[in-house]
Amino acid sequence: MSAELSGESVVLNFDDGMYYSLNEIGARIWALIQSPCKVSVLLATLVSEYDVDTARCESDMISLLQELRGMRLVEVLDAAGP
Domain of 36? 25-75
Do the beta carbons of residue 22 and residue 30 sit within 8 Å? yes
Report H helices in the chain. Answer: 24-32, 39-49, 54-70
pLDDT in tens, 20-72: 777 888 888 888 988 889 999 999 999 999 999 999 999 999 999 998 888 88
Write b or e for each residue in 22-35: b if 16 or more Cβ atoms lie within 10 A of its Cβ, otherwise e.
Answer: beebbbbbbeebee
- Please count the structural domains in the chain: 1
pLDDT in tens, 47-56: 999 999 999 9
31 lies in some domain: yes
12 lies in some domain: no
pTM over cut 0.75: yes
